[in-house]
Amino acid sequence: MNRLFGTKSAAPKPTLDSAISKVDDRVASIDVKLSALNAELSTYQAKLSKMRDGPGKNALRQKALKILQRRKQYEGQRDQLSQQSWNMEQAGMMQDNLKNVMTTVDAMKTTTKELKKQYGKVDIDKIEQMQDEMADLMEVGNEIQESISRAYDLPEEVDEADLDAELEALGEESMFDTGIGEDAMPSFLQDEVAPPQFIDEPPEQAKVKEAAGGLG
- 124-177 pLDDT per residue, tens: 888 888 898 999 899 988 888 888 877 666 555 656 777 777 777 777 666 655
Contacts of 182 (CB under 8 A, 6+ apart): none
- The mean-pLDDT minimum among 44-58, 59-73, 112-126, 188-202 falls in 188-202
**What pLDDT, on a 0 to 100 scale, did the predictor assign at position 198?**
46
Ramachandran angles phi, psi of 54, nearest 5°:
165, -175
- Cβ neighbourhood burial of 23 (10 Å; 0-12, 13-18, 19+): buried
Report how far apart, in Å, the C-alpha atoms of 200 and of each of 105, 195, 196, 205 are.
Answer: 127, 9, 9, 15
% of the chain with per-residue pLDDT over 70: 69
* Of 66, 81, 85, nearest in space to 31 by CA: 81
Mean pLDDT of 109-132: 86
Higher pLDDT, 174 or 190: 174
113 pLDDT more than 50: yes
* Of 14, 12, 19, nearest in space to 89 by CA: 19
204 pLDDT more than 70: no
